[in-house]
Amino acid sequence: MSTPIERQLVVFDFDWSLADQDSDRWIFEVLAPELRRKMKNLKKEMQWTDLVAMSLRELHEKGATREDIENALRQMPFHPAMVRGVTALKNKSPPQTTFLCLSNANIVFITTILKSKGLENLFNEIITNPAEWDASGLLKLRRRIDPNGPQHQCKAGCSPNMCKGDELEAFLQRHPAFDRVIYVGDGSNDFCPVMLKTLFSAAAIAACMALSKGMKKAAALHAKCAIGQALGKSKKYSDNSDTNVRVELRA
Ligand SMILES: [Zn+2]
């Protein structure tokens, strides 16, 4: 007989995993499409966090306000079934669920969106890039790992601003004794924490991932599948039946 799960950790990437869009791109798509196009052209030449920080400065120079950015974030697509699913999981016990957010977006984008969905108390910890508003309304963003200090040594494809595997390992050392870890992510930098750095055996990890761009829909579905699994739902999900997924996730 298998050991009952009493404590589980659910780790969420944010963009295209918990949320149904990419917050870094979304605000420019909404507020300044020309900057979004410029980012696309510069993506291969600049580190992504630095590019978003530079684009935020340019957006500020164009006159976009803090309110404009916050409104754009609040309108970003976010599936209501995901809100219901994670809320149900948070309230269900046993197993007791701890939520961790590991994201390459930034703390202001994430907390603004979570608050607009009533999820501001979902995560026990949010590990991401720091950002803060200055008095003029500019959102000042910087890398989690300072480019002028020691860098991470990850060779698994993580961006220089953060190694998600290192962060997950450190979190698990600070918070040991989970019976199960469930990881929900869709990006190449989610490969590291799942496949290379976790201390858990493959059997202890439900890795619901889709690594290629063409699999966004599948990634979103798998995210819902993972939450369903964490809630103890065992029904198989079909890949074209969003209605069924929503029914399954009902608390
Ligand atoms: Zn890494």
Q: pLDDT digits over 205-216, tens only?
A: 444 443 334 334
What residue numbers does the annotated binding site for Mg(2+) cover?
13, 15, 186
List, by residue number, the catalytic residues.
13, 15
Amino acid code (one letter) for 217:
K
pLDDT at 55 > cutoff 70: yes
The answer to whether 224 touches 245, Cβ cutoff 8 Å, is yes
Mean pLDDT value of segment 104-128:
98
Taking a 5 Å cut-off on Cβ, the residues next to ion ligand 1 are 154, 156, 158, 163, 165, 192
Q: How far is the CA of 86 from the centre of ligand 1 (A)?
A: 26
CA distances from 215 to 9, 48, 55, 239 (A): 25, 22, 27, 11
Query: Across-strand partners of 208?
Result: 184
pLDDT at 246 > cutoff 80: no
3-state secondary structure of 54: helix
CATH of domain 7-249: 3.40.50
CA distances from 110 to 49, 74, 101, 126, 241 (A): 15, 10, 9, 9, 28
The answer to whether 244 touches 219, Cβ cutoff 8 Å, is no
Task: Please tell me the pTM assigned to this model.
Answer: 0.82
Identify the H or E element spanning 9. Answer: strand 7-12
Structure tokens of 249?
């996730």
- Indicate the domain borders of the chain: 7-249
Q: How far is the CA of 67 from the centre of ligand 1 (A)?
A: 34
Mean pLDDT value of segment 95-115:
97
Q: How far is the CA of 150 from the centre of ligand 1 (A)?
A: 15
Identify the H or E element spanning 178. Answer: none
Provide the percentage of residues in the chain whose pLDDT is more than 90: 65
Query: Across-strand partners of 100?
Result: 11, 125
Q: pLDDT tens digits, residue range 34-54?
A: 999 999 999 999 999 999 999
Distance CA 138, CA 56 (A): 7
Amino acid code (one letter) for 247:
V
